[in-house]
Amino acid sequence: MTIKGSDRANQMLRWFFNSEDSRYELAEVTRIAQTTKDNIQNWVRREMIEPDEVTPGRRVYAPLTVADIKVATILLEQYGSPTNAFMAARVVNVVTMSWFAGHDWKDGDPMPAFRRDVRQQFAALWWGPRSLHDPHRIPYVEIVHGDELNKFLRKRGPILHTPVPIGRYWIDLADFAWRLKQRQGKRLEPQGEDEAT
């Protein structure tokens, strides 16, 4: 299925993040997030992720965890450090959820309704000190429309930013997950606004 338009993209995101059908075993996660079992196991060992459900021989991951893994895998190519890549990916995804929700979104909060057009949005990612008195560097993110990205980066001057095309990443992720579940013979319907919680 090709996603056309903002409404369709938002329906796919609502399905991906809200549907009971949108839960993934390890083999599915490696395909959807285009990563390796070794990467996932590395993040599990570091206690950065954990499966939603664990039974003998089966681990099931929630959609937000899959999104974290997808973005972390992409950032791993740039940062080299699995810890830094995952920390940054987590902040990118939480800030994007906050952008959709219109307030500071936190784990455990209801998923936003996905009414905004994310297709041309970028997460401008940079690392900075936690505070003036704490030099430990942490990731910061601001959501910026693609048309405003160059202006934003110039205005920020010497601070090095990584533009993450989060809209494209999330829509590709939801579309790939949808097609995977369809191939498994599941009858799926994208969620309309009234079905999202």
Whether the Cβ atoms of residue 144 and residue 121 lie closer than 8 Å to each other: yes
| Residue 63 tokens, joined | 């959609």
Q: What are the residue ranges spanned by the domains of the chain?
A: 5-188
pLDDT digits (tens, 9 = 90+) for 164-185: 999 999 999 999 999 998 887 7
For 27-120, list the strands marked E by DSSP.
53-55, 58-61
DSSP calls for 133-169: TEEEEEEEEEEEEGGGHHHHHHHTTTS--EEE-HHHH
Query: How much of the chain, in percent, has pLDDT values that exceed 90?
Result: 62
Residue 195 pLDDT > 70: no
Whether the Cβ atoms of residue 177 and residue 22 lie closer than 8 Å to each other: yes
Split at pLDDT 50, 70, 90, the class of 137 is confident
Closest by Cα among 77, 167, 152 to 119: 167
